[in-house]
Amino acid sequence: MDPEKSTEAACQYLKQLHTIFGNWELALAAYNSGPGTVRKAVRRSGYKKSFWEVYPHLPRETRAYVPQFIAITYAMNYAEQHNLLETAREVFPPFDTLTVAHHLHLGTLAKLTGTCLEDLQKLNPSVRHNIIPGNGKTYTVKIPLFAKATLDSNRVAILDSAMRAGKKESAVLMYASTPTQGTPTIYKVASGDVLGGIALRFKVSVNDLKAWNNLSTSRIYAGQKLYVYAPAQNITHTNNTQPTLLSPDTKTYIVQPGDTLWDISRKVPGLTVEKIKSLNNLKSNNLQPGQKLIVG
């Protein structure tokens, strides 16, 4: 499990629960026991609005959970006033990111970049069994910052070695150094876009995108405008409002990172998901970036 992603997901869920119940205490109760349980408790209380009025009708675990959460939050914010000293904690090394499109073993990456495997494991706790699966999806991998120079200077050798490793599937590492100057490209986020997919599209790192756009997290939303300082030769697709057609006659579309069959069907008038699957003999909805689809 990735603590960073899990925390972001938990915060997003809590925000949704707060919208439903109107206060943070009931939102926390719903986070612990489920929205349905809290709705029943509110109904049994005579539709009271506060946690303490609903308290007697909640499960015992939830009645304890919310006060404990409040107490921990208080202790973290006012530790010094109560002489609570922070215990020694492990400091992770500065890191950058790379986007992996296919199968890769963290052990192989560690050897090729001179990185300690243990450091890679700590930076990427969501990677199970040290393996990035080759399932057509893109994954963002954190690497120690010092490994950046090694990766940049030996990129060809690293890619060649990675392609021979593991399951004999090619490992494509899309990575680029942070530009120091240049005119930015303005990219409008489409539905289904993720920061890692946009980074892959422009051949830059996720950290670059976050720094250029003052993003503290990886969350983005449809319609958001992002500044991308990528060299022109790196830009493979910047207009995400229209399908990429190789020829007006052939009517084919090149799948972009984050695309779904539903997204593509909405870009071409009269096109449906089932029609795309029929035209391309697709048995599932899985797509791979760079895949060519017939759309008419």
Domain boundary assignment for the chain: 3-82, 95-174, 185-234, 252-294
Q: Which helix (H) or strand (E) holds 122?
A: helix 117-123
CATH superfamily of domain region 252-294: LysM domain (3.10.350.10)
Tell me the fold of 185-234.
Membrane-bound Lytic Murein Transglycosylase D; Chain A (3.10.350)
User: Angle at the Cα of 214 (from 210 to 220), degrees rounded to 5?
Assistant: 60
185-234 and 252-294 share one fold: yes
Q: Which amino acid is at 66?
A: V
DSSP of 231-271, one letter per residue?
-GGG-S---TTS--BS-TTT-EEEPPTT--HHHHHHHSTT-
Per-residue pLDDT of the chain (296 residues; tens, 9 = 90+): 678 888 888 999 999 999 999 999 999 999 999 999 999 999 999 999 999 999 999 999 999 999 999 999 999 899 888 888 776 666 677 888 888 777 778 887 888 777 888 888 888 888 888 877 766 778 888 888 887 777 776 665 665 565 555 444 333 444 433 444 455 677 888 877 888 778 878 888 887 887 777 677 778 888 888 878 765 444 444 444 433 433 344 467 777 766 788 778 877 777 888 888 888 878 777 777 667 788 86
Sign of CA dihedral 211, 215, 218, 223: negative
Using DSSP, state whether 194 is helix, strand or coil. coil
CA distance 13 to 19: 10
